[in-house]
Structure 1
Amino acid sequence: MRILIVEDELLIALDLESMVLDLGHEVVGTARNAKEALELGREAEVALVDVQLADGPTGPSIAEALSRDHGVTVVFITGNPEFVRDNRSAVGVVSKPHWPAKVAEALDFAEATRFGRTLSSPRYLTPLMA
């Protein structure tokens, strides 16, 4: 899958990119803010989106625009999961700190959701869509 990483912390973004690549996916880019995310969004199938970015708490509005305008399946990866528990623009949320098993599950869940399959009982991810 083609993955967009929306994360403003350089080391976290690089770590996520490494994990995504190790899982056999392609990274279409890393965005630090809404403008960059929306520019790269047309190339992505899935986006891993933080809530708090360089331009403020824009993650939820980015998720909405990516989903609505580009058909991107969004998973939040954030230290503030309580801010997006009611968000319906993303399929799920994973709490930071992240590690390979969390990222793998997030991508598996996003892929399953994207293609109409069910991933039962995720361990690290909280589903958001009803």
Structure 2
Amino acid sequence: MRVLIVEDEFLIAKLLENVVEDDGYEAIGPVSTVEQALAYAPRADIALVDLSLSDGNSGQLLARRLIDRFGIDVIFVTGDPGSVQQGFDGALAVVNKPFRDEEITGALAMALDKRSRSIARRAAP
């Protein structure tokens, strides 16, 4: 599974990249803007997305584009989880900052399970 990391804080982005790779997934990025994320999106299966991006755009706006255009599952990684609940229901999960590695690992495992079930449904006669 290929995981796009969209995070504007360098140290957090590197922590996410380490967790993703330690879990055996391919990390794409990290990137910090909507434009960069959309450029890498065709290579990704899932995205870890911060709510506040360095270009001033909302992670929720990006998530809607990733879901609608590319069918990419989104997990929000945020220091402000309350703002996700204000009108966005498309994310698989919300992981609060500061996070533990296990929280990211669990969210990625849930995304992989969802993908596997979806593929199995499509393959069934």
TM-score of the superposition, structure 2-length normalised? 0.88
Unpaired runs of at least 5, structure 1? 118-130
Q: By percentage of residues, which structure has more helix?
A: 2
* Bigger radius of gyration among the two: 2
Does residue 12 of the first structure (1) align with residue 5 of the second (2)? no
RMSD, aligned CA: 1.3
- Structure 1 length-normalised TM: 0.84
Instruction: After TM superposition, give the deviation of residue 14 of structure 1 in Å.
Output: 0.6
The equivalent of 1:77 in structure 2 is 77
- Give the superposition deviation at 1:57: 4.6
Distance 2:48 2:39 in 1: 15
In structure 2, C-alpha distance between the alignment counterparts of 1:6 and 1:43, rounded to whole Å = 14
| Fraction of identical pairs, as percent | 40
> Which residue is 1:90 aligned to?
91
Mean alpha-carbon deviation: is it higher for 100-109 or for 50-59?
50-59
Name 2:110's counterpart in structure 1.
109
Q: Give the distance between the partners of 2:70 and 2:20, measured in 1 at CA.
A: 21
Asked if 1:46 corresponds to 2:46, the answer is yes
| Aligned residue-pair number | 117
